[in-house]
Amino acid sequence: MSAATTALLLFLSLLITPSLSWKKDEFRNCNQTPFCRRARSRLPNSSPLIASSLSLSSSSGNLIATLLPKPNPNPNTVDSNFNESSESETRTLDQERPLVLTISVYEERIVRVKVDEVREEGKRERFEVRDVVELEFEATKLWLQRFDEEKIGDDEVAAAVVYIGDGYEVVLRRDPFEVFVREKGKGGRRVVAVNSNGLFDFEQLREKKEEGESWEESWRGHTDSRPYGPQSISFDVSFYGADFVYGIPEHATGLSLKPTRGPGVEFSEPYRLFNLDVFEYLHESPFGLYGSIPFMISHGKERGTSGFFWLNAAEMQIDVLGDGWDAGESKIALPSEQKRIDTLWMSEAGVFDAFFFVGPGPKDVVKQYVKVTGLPAMPQLFATAYHQCRWNYRDEEDVEQVDAKFDEHDIPYDVLWLDIEHTDGKRYLTWDRVLFPHPEEMQKKLASKGRHMVTIVDPHIKRDDSYFIHKEATELGHYVKDATGKDYDGWCWPGSSSYLDMLSPEVRVWWAEKFSYDNYVGSTPSLYIWNDMNEPSVFNGPEVTMPRDALHVGGVEHRELHNVYGLYFHMGTAEGLVKRGEGKDRPFVLSRAFFSGSQKYGAIWTGDNTAEWEQLRVSVPMVLTLGLSGISFSGADVGGFFGNPEPELLVRWYQLGAYYPFFRGHAHHDTKRREPWLFGERNTKLMRDAIRTRYTLLPYFYTLFRESNLTGIPVMRPLWMEFPGDEATFNNDEAFMVGNSLLVQGIYTQQAKESSVYLPGSDSWFDLRSGAAYRGGTTHKLEVSDESIPAFQRAGTIVPRKDRYRRSSTQMTNDPYTLVIALNSSRSAEGELYIDDGKSFEFQRGAYIHRRFIFSDGKLTSSNLAPAAADAKSRFTSDCVIERIIILGHSSTPKTALIEPANQKADIEVGPLWLQESRGPSVLIIRKPNVRITDDWTMQIF
C-alpha cells in the first residue's frame, strides 16, 4: 500500500468517524445558532408591527393587509442578559420595508395566513416551499366577500373579523398586530393565536452596500457566506384550552411535549427541526433527528383539539413555554380565564406560511392537516407484513440461507433487504457481480414464494467518470452547486460524492427513469427501494450535512429548503417505481428523511436506534407522533440498529414491533447476527409467535391502512385519539391503539413480572390471547410472562383475521377469514374489512371489497360499503369465505346460527380462540358458516 493511499484512508476514517456515534459537540445548540439566540432574547410585547391598509382582493378573494413598524416602538425589546451589540445581525427600523399579510379561508374551517416581503421585479425573493400543499386543497379556497369590524378590548383601531364556517371566525387585530381563530361572536373562546405575546419578528433580505460588508458565520471550521444577511422569522403561537401539545417530529422524546423554557423546566434547548444524520441518538432529547414536520397539535378536556402548521423547510427551533415563562412582562393578549399553552417558533429563513386547524376533535385536526399536505399512500399488502434486514447480507448464498431458515423454522416473512455492500463500489443501481452474480435469479427465487427484495439507493453519487449516473448528471448539470457555482463535492460512503438537485422537476424526471429495467440492470418487478442518508448526510459537511450556502436550481440556497430535500428524493424514487411499472403497481419506498407530505410517497422509519430498553420505550411515542403528523406507515428497527440486544429485549421488541405499522428487523454490520432462530428454541418460538400475530392480523391492518389512505387517521394511535375526553389518556404513551379496536401495552423493563395497564372507556376489554374480560375505566395490575405483551380488543368491535400460517402474505390471499366479535354492554359490535388485489392502483377505480359487519340483537349482518364499480373491468372479486366467527362476551351459550338468504344453519360450539393452538382458552365459535366475504348476508344465533 502506498503512502498516499494510506494517508487517504486515514483521512477518510477521520471524516467518517463522526457519523458513527452521536457526539453532542458535532451539532449546534441554540446558543451557538444566532437566529435562535436572538429570537429567545426578545421580550414579550417587543414586536413593533401593526396592520394597516386592509382590503379584500378582487383577484384572489383574500383579506390583504400591510404590516408596518410602529413609529415609536417599545424600547425594551430584549432580555437584559443578551448582548445585542455583539450581534452582527442587528438592524434598525429604518432598514425595514412593509410586509404583506394575506389571510385565506378554505373549506373544513382551515385558515391560511402568509407574511412575506413586498416582491419587486429584479429583487431576490424569499423561498416558498412547493410540492407539499395539495392542488385539490387549493381548489377548496373560499372567496371572501366581506369582513366585519369589532373593537377588541382597549384597542384604538377596530379589528377585522371573517367568518370561516361552522361557528368559527378568524380575527385580525391591527394595533397590536395579532391573528387568532375563535368561536363565533364577540368574546367567543379562542382556539389558536399568533403573536398574542408580541414576539413576531421578520428579518428582511439585505443587499451589500459597502465594499467588504459581510455576514459570514463560522462553525467548527466551516464558513457560511450568508450573502443575503440574516433572514430569520420568529413568532409565538398560543393554543387555548390545551392541557398538552404534541407533534413536531422527529425527536426521541415522550408523546406530549415538555416545556423547554420557564420555571423548573427539564430541557434548556428548544425542539430542533433540522434533518440530520444522527447515529445512536439519545432518548429524551429535544435534539432534531432525520426528519422535520412543523405541525403541532394541542389537546385538552376544556376545548378539544386544535393544530398549527408552518410550511417552512429551513432550520427551525421551537420552544414550549412553561407556566410563568412571562412573569412580570406586559402582554398583548387580553385577560382570559381560558388556560393556554404558549410556544415560540423560530426559523432561519423562508416565509411565514401558516395554517390554523380548529378541530374540534383529534381526528378532525388530522383530517384537516392531510387535506393540506396530502393523504397517505396505500401500500401494497406485502409491505404491511414482516421485513428482514441487515447491513449487510453478504452474498447470494447468504440470502438463500436466510430465506431457507425462515421456512425451516416456520417463520413467515415477506421482504429481504440488501444494504450498501450489495453494490459495485457504492455505485447505486448496480450490483457487486462477485457477491451477487445472478441478481435476477435471486429475486425470482424469492418471488416464487411470494416474497420480495428491497435494495438501498442513497442520494450521494460517487464521483467516478466511468459510473453512468455520475457521467450523465455531470453532463446535464443535475448536481447541487457549491457557493461558487461548481458541482458540490462532499464525502459519504463512496468517498468523493455529489448530490442530485432534487428541487428541480427536470432532475426528478431524469432520476425516475433510472429505475427502468434497462437502467437498473438486474432489477425485477419484485424489487423495491430504500432511501437512506437523504437528510442529506455529508460526512465532512457542517453538522454532517450540506453547507447552507450550497445552491439549488434557481439560485435557492440550501438553508432555505434543507428539510424538504429528503422528501424530494423520496418523491423522485417513488415516481420512478410507478413509471417502471407503467403506472400499474403501487411503489414501496422507505425513507429516513422526511417532511410534511412525505406520507404521499411511502414509509418512514425512526433511524439508527440502539439495542436498549429505553429505546424500545421511546419508539412508541416516536411512531405515534409520526402518525399524528400524517405519516401513518412508520416503525422502528426491531432489536435496535446498534448494539447486541439480550434475548429478552429482542423478544419484547418483536412482541411490540408486531403492532408497528412498519414491521422490520434491522441491525448494524458490527453487531452479532440476530435472525430469530439464533437465540435458542424457546426464544425462537416467542419471536415466531410475535411475527405470526402480525400475519394473523394482516386483514385488520390492511383495512386500517385503507382508512388512513382515505382520511389520514393513523393506523397506530394515542389513546386520547379514541378517548378524547379521558384525561388519564392524555399523557399515556406506553400504551397505544391499533385502529379503534386494539389496545397494546409494551413491556419496557427487564424481567418484568407484572404490568400496570390503563383500559379507558366504560365498556370491557378482552385479552387478545385468552379472551378474558377486563373492566374499562380503570388501571389493572396484570401478571405478565415471556409469552406475550398485554394486548386487548375493545368491546363493541369486530376484528377480521386470517388464522392459517403461510410463508408470506402473498400465499395467504385465498385463505378463509375469522371474525372476532367483542360484545359491549349493549351486546352489540361493529367492524369493517377492506380487500383489494394488494398491489395495483385498480382500487382507485373501484376495484375493491369493503364490508361492514354489525352485530346487534343476536344477529350478525354483512353489508357492502363499496360503491358500484363503473364497469366490469373495475370489479374486484374474491372466493374467500368466513370459516370461523368468535363471539366474546356473550352471556348465554347458543347452539345454532341461521344464515340468510341461504336458509342454512351453522353449528355453534366452544373451541380455541386461536385456530392453530390446541391448548389455551375456549370461546364461543360459529363453526364453518362458509359465507362468502363478498356477499350480503345475515346470521341469527339461537
Backbone angles phi, psi at 741, to 5 degrees: -110, -30
Q: Measuring CA to CA, how many Å separate 522 from each of 198, 390, 445, 468?
A: 60, 21, 14, 15
Measured distance CA(723)–CA(744) in Å, rounded: 15
Q: Does residue 787 have an active-site annotation?
A: no
Length of the chain: 942
Exposed, middle or buried, 667 (CB in 10 Å: 0-12/13-18/19+)?
Answer: buried
Q: Measuring CA to CA, how many Å separate 67 from each of 136, 192, 281?
A: 30, 20, 42
Q: What is the largest CA-CA distance in the chain?
A: 94
Closest by CA position to 717, among listed 355, 260, 359, 365: 365
Measured distance CA(736)–CA(732) in Å, rounded: 8
Measured distance CA(299)–CA(304) in Å, rounded: 5
Measured distance CA(653)–CA(746) in Å, rounded: 9
Q: Which of 532, 549, 689, 767 is catalytic?
A: 532
**Residue 716 near residue 604, CB atoms below 8 Å:** no
CA-based Rg of the chain, rounded to a whole angstrom? Answer: 29
Cβ-Cβ contacts under 8 Å for 545 (sequence gap 6 or more): 275, 276, 277, 535, 536, 537, 538, 562
Measured distance CA(148)–CA(563) in Å, rounded: 39
Q: Which of 414, 557, 608, 722 is catalytic?
A: 608
Q: Which of 116, 169, 414, 535 is catalytic?
A: 535
Measured distance CA(237)–CA(250) in Å, rounded: 20
Q: Measuring CA to CA, how many Å separate 809 from each of 411, 447, 452, 480, 698?
A: 12, 12, 11, 41, 8
Q: Does residue 243 have an active-site annotation?
A: no
Measured distance CA(937)–CA(931) in Å, rounded: 8
What is the SS3 string spanning 841-872?
CHHHHCCCEEEEEEEECCEEEEEECCCCCCCH
**Residue 376 near residue 632, CB atoms below 8 Å:** yes
Q: Does residue 727 have an active-site annotation?
A: no
Name the CA dihedral angle for 421, 425, 428, 434, rounded to a multiple of 10 degrees.
-70
Which of the residues are catalytic?
532, 535, 608
